């Protein structure tokens, strides 16, 4: 999408069901083998009572929305705030959403409200992203 086509209020989403393979792959990529994510016995004794997905795995779905949909390919992430409000369990279906909150034309920056919700509509991640949008649409 071209910078000039952006408008406050525009929204894009990405939805994915979190699988066992996703959690194990993310642990391997990130090096985060916290037992609450990868060890069912240890996780059963945690405050969650079962394994949960990495918070940043869910947050990475926000990156998917930004890089692939809004603003889209060529967009450069400058910053992201995150607040994790609920655990994401294996099998949960997460919808990441980005909404254009502000456009800073002089700097080609866009401020996006970012959220992730589960299949019950419960907020699991809340935040705000600042991105730099290229002048022309990338292919």
Domain 3-132 has CATH 3.30.365.10: no
Residue whose token pair is 């034309």: 105
Residue whose token pair is 């086509």: 5
Domain ranges of the chain: 3-132
Per-residue pLDDT tens digits for 114-126: 999 999 999 999 9
Beta bridge partners of 116: 96, 125
Per-residue pLDDT tens digits for 12-63: 999 999 999 999 999 999 999 999 999 999 999 999 999 999 999 999 999 9
């Amino acid at each position: 999408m071209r910078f000039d086509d952006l408008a406050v209020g525009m929204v894009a989403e990405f939805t994915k069901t979190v699988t066992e393979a996703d959690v194990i792959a993310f642990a391997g990529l990130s090096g985060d083998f916290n037992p609450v994510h990868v060890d069912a016995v240890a996780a059963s004794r945690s405050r969650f009572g079962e394994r949960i997905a990495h918070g940043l795995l869910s947050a990475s779905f926000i990156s998917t929305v930004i890089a692939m949909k809004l603003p889209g390919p060529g967009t450069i992430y400058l910053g992201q705030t995150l607040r994790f409000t609920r655990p994401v369990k294996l099998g949960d279906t997460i919808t990441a959403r980005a909404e254009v909150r502000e456009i800073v034309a002089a700097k080609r920056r866009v401020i996006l409200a970012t959220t992730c919700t589960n299949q019950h509509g419960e907020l699991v991640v809340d935040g705000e992203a600042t991105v730099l949008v290229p002048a022309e649409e990338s292919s």
